[in-house]
Amino acid sequence: MVKTKKTKPNQTDRLLVIACGMIAREVLAVKEQLGLDHLELTCLPAEFHFHPDRIAPAMDKAIEKARAEGYEHIFVGYADCGTGGLLDRVLEKHGVERMAGPHCFAFYQGMDAYAKVADDDMMSFYMTDFLCRQFDAFFMKPLGLDKHPELIKDYFGNYEKLIYLAQTDDPELDKVAEKAAALLGLAYERRSTDFGDLTPGLARAAANA
């Protein structure tokens, strides 16, 4: 039997998306939806959502690693996400682009739509599909609210409304969001966003790769 040698994919022909772990499922959904077979995904820890100071240095290392592996086309699945411009400095150094906007809550709604509601949403607490799935792991346990519910007012007392930005139509996630709003003592609103600007953002990046 003649054995054929497996060749490693040519990374120069691929688009590597380095994204926040909070949007991994959505990036893969867009990849499948648009048939972006040449798109590959790697993620930084979702926990960086709470530690934005870690995003820029971790991204710097991730891009350097990707370049060393031969990736020429890289796109970043982050908005500024609380880095105060530090992420953009890293991306400028490497010549890499990212999703436009201040955070994923903005690009999920679409930047034009977000601009119209940003001021009114100032006192709103956003949730996404990911945050509904991980509500206990990301909020209840880390903040100690599972054992000390009296702390809810300390953490969420300045909010007036919980807005669930729904990427999918999942009744179970709806229940989580509604329950969270009741638990936090907030008014509730659901907005169906689909993937917002993530879809055209990834499509443009893939077309340019």
Enumerate domains of the chain plus CATH numbers. 12-104+196-207 (3.40.50), 111-192 (no CATH)
Distance CA 126, CA 165 (A): 7
Q: What is the pLDDT along the chain (209 residues), one digit of tens a residue?
A: 434 333 345 676 899 999 999 999 999 999 999 999 999 999 999 999 999 999 999 999 999 999 999 999 999 999 999 999 999 999 999 999 999 999 999 999 999 999 999 999 999 999 999 999 999 999 988 888 889 999 999 999 999 999 999 999 999 999 999 999 999 999 999 999 999 999 999 999 999 98
Q: What is the pLDDT of residue 10?
A: 62
CA distance readout (Å), 8 to 11, 71, 75, 183: 8, 13, 21, 51
Q: What is the pLDDT of residue 3?
A: 42
Q: What is the pTM of this model?
A: 0.90
Of 156, 164, 177, 179, the closest CA to residue 126 belongs to 164
Q: What is the pLDDT of residue 29?
A: 98
C-alpha torsion 142→143→144→148, nearest 10: -160
